[in-house]
Chain A
Amino acid sequence: MSTPRLLDAGIVVTGVGPVSRHAIGRAELAGVATEWSDSPARDEWLRPLDAFDAARRLGRKGWRALPPAARYAMVAARLAGEDARLDADLDGNLVGVVLGTNFAADETVDRFDRAVLAEGVRGISPLEAPNFSINVAASQVSVDRGYRAFNITLIDLFTAGSSALWTACQALEDGRAPVALAGAAEGRPPRQSTEVLAPTLDEGAACLLCLETTDHAAARAARPLGQVRAGAQLFVPAAVVEAPDRLDALTHSLLDGAVRALPAGLSGVDVDVVRPPASARAEAVAAAAIRWTAARTDAALVGGPDGGRAAAQASATAPLRLASQLARRTTASRALVQVVIGPEGHLVVLVLSPTA
């Protein structure tokens, strides 16, 4: 589908829950100068998540048998809920969970493979056996918080976190629930993923946003960080990527349509074009989005000197960058458009306006 969907009901972001090597929690995120860009190439391809202390964040029990991505997701969910000041007694039937991930299960599956080859089935721990499933992180968020409205896991490479945010927005717009926690959680990536994402990757990260219908947020006097006005996702065929005119026609009409959802009176549009630096295909699509930005007198690229080339947190990269910008936004007059492009041709667009 190449037509953006404009949201009528109004979906607002009322909290963010970042977990990354740069920052854990909104306060830290707001103080970080980085634009979530990738560091220049260095000796090691994998950067540790040293600052994450599961026992401190989750207590002494209930997480040790879970994969790291599930632990990060659970902490991100708690942080997002706290940031949004969600009532701890909120009816779980009112809250859905949508999570994107690429590598939540990779480390577990790899370990299981080696154990089976070395020891047979006895090498697999029964307690860890469920962790081979890619949806374990999202499921554990729902189990931990008691959220039962819906639970969805998406896995498109790099764009899954943004797809999750957009899917959650649509679910709220369609009345499935008034609240959702959505974003991404990542575990340790396999080394070969550096070939399509970035030369240096993080061993894990997560970022969940608390999304609410405007009515629900207003009823509990929440303080929104931004309002999602429109979104879109589509697959850009390789043949289109190779034809700049067709690529511009496709992406520009999509972006033109999406920003029509913005209210009048804004002073401009900030555009964050997020794509993995290792992907020429993503870069080609990004160039089309950058051309669209350049053609608008009221638009400006954000993302720092890298221009949005970042993928160290895989599918959590874009939600982290979005949360970072929402947490640090000081001007209430500019819209924010995030264009997220994956190495396999997925494109996700989110259009947000400031809130009064």
Chain B
Amino acid sequence: MTTAIQQHLDEIREIAAEVLEIEPEEITETSSFAEEHEADSLRAIEILARIEKKYNVEIPQAELPKMVNLRAVYDVVAQHAGWAA
């Protein structure tokens, strides 16, 4: 994994952890926000909003259902931010 990808993953992990009121270490790339970290729709929108603000990117709310875990969030953000794979 490249340094840039890891850095972005860590940043998104921090955002998600703060919104979900848990420690960043509790979030793995594949742990389910809803089932394992008690995320509801409002918290999902909050994660989306914070990511949009941090990276100055617009992500359609239609993408929300895909953003079920850290890796999935990264993939959605990378697509809309134009981050190289």
Contact B53 A122 (CB under 8 A): yes
Q: Which chain B residues border A127 with CB–CB below 8 Å?
A: 19, 42-43, 45-46
- Whether A125 sits at the interface, judged by CB under 8 Å, is yes
How far apart sit A64 and B21, CA to CA, in the bound complex (Å)?
7
Contact B21 A61 (CB under 8 A): yes
Instruction: Given A60-B21, A62-B21, check contact A126 B49 (CB 8 Å).
Output: yes
- Whether B35 sits at the interface, judged by CB under 8 Å, is no
Within 8 A of B (CB), among A121-150: 122, 125-127
Q: Which chain A residues border B53 with CB–CB below 8 Å?
A: 122
How far apart sit A60 and B21, CA to CA, in the bound complex (Å)?
7
Say which size band chain A's interface belongs to: under 10
* Distance (whole angstroms) from the CB of A132 to the closest CB of chain B: 14
Contact mask for chain B residues 28-67; partner A; CB cutoff 8 A; 1 contact, 0 none: 0000000000100011011001101100000000000000
Contact B42 A126 (CB under 8 A): yes
Contact B42 A61 (CB under 8 A): no
How far apart sit A122 and B56, CA to CA, in the bound complex (Å)?
11
How far apart sit A62 and B22, CA to CA, in the bound complex (Å)?
10
How far apart sit A339 and B45, CA to CA, in the bound complex (Å)?
47
Within 8 A of B (CB), among A51-65: 60-62, 64-65
19 contacts between A and B (CB under 8 A): A60-B21, A61-B21, A61-B22, A61-B38, A62-B21, A64-B21, A65-B46, A122-B49, A122-B52, A122-B53, A125-B46, A125-B50, A126-B42, A126-B45, A126-B46, A126-B49, A127-B42, A127-B43, A127-B45
